[in-house]
Structure 1
């Protein structure tokens, strides 16, 4: 019976991973296809990557996406870290429940609702849609993910270290930057990478908040896919998959390093 259940579990895992990742593997393989037909293999070639680099529309969209992702991830990391510190250190203050709900609402809010509400806000205040509105929208929905990651690290942080720094004459701000921040820095980096990859991948919210000259790469890919999938789109998607994979790996390594440092600190204590 145990052997049967073992084979069943292995089969289920294999089928699950195949369902999730086989389409991505096929997309990567066919991005090196010589033929223009994405379903017919005609030999290995990298010409579609060269075509991708010479496509002005795709490169402009990629540049917009990179700028939005870098700026929104950086601002979201600062705001998310501040929110996590406030929720962790100040457990009782008036409006804490409302503040917590507002910080974490984008986690459960459908992207369509978030995008539509932001669109109505920008229209109400007569704010022209473009690069700035897309960046603000990405900060809004990615900040909560940073707050979750950093808060989980702060909950296990030994506050006696910060209290010792305060007793030695450090100001609260100096104690935070010289004692607390170095300890939680791997979590901050993990939150930044998560916010960066979420910004790169966003289509729905950017569709609501973008304007002329602010077309992101997922929006460009989606508009071209509706006319038919080409190996050039496969090449662009492969590059995106590679960037997101690198980001996930870096975030995982940062979390692993955080766990190692935590175990070493526990042993020393």
Structure 2
């Protein structure tokens, strides 16, 4: 099975313009993410961008990058354009704003997909307790699973809703936005219209569930730190120093 990771990278961002080029410990953020992915067992890693500055940056540090159109409605559409002429079986969608992305998480997701030919898409979640702000924060997407560790639903709401005090063994699962697509599913996805649930929750993955496809969820005991705003860079640099 040939595996390719694509990192969609746009220059424009409402909260943090130029985020992929922001320096973290002297190197652009997109380079940190790229090198983390390249250290995995993936066959190939590609940055997909619509910005010449990002394109040139990736070229300068020796990464593979392709220019894509600027009018894509989603990062998934950008990924599809990037790999349309590339022979591959499994495509991994990685977020470019996770410079601390654990390489082992990528390898685990790929391995799970290789061993689960009955599903065409996979993603990652982290197990948490019901306590705390993570459960109620709508910026944290939650997922509920069936007995086969496949997604039943994703929501910004607190799911499963705790009507009574949960027992000590009860857990929630926070979704981590890493995706694995089999090639045909990816190209089917971009032809499907947005579904009602996707529009309500503003979550692309619900389009897949609404079309009757299964999503395998790999449970990780690791976590990463995303960079959403300029102030997050100092936090990431502190963690990088701790890794050394």
Give the TM interval when normalised to the shorter protein: under 0.3
Q: Which has the higher contact order (CA 8 A, sep 6+)?
A: 1
User: Going by fraction, where is strand more abundant, 1 or 2?
Assistant: 2
- For normalisation by structure 2, the TM-score amounts to 0.25
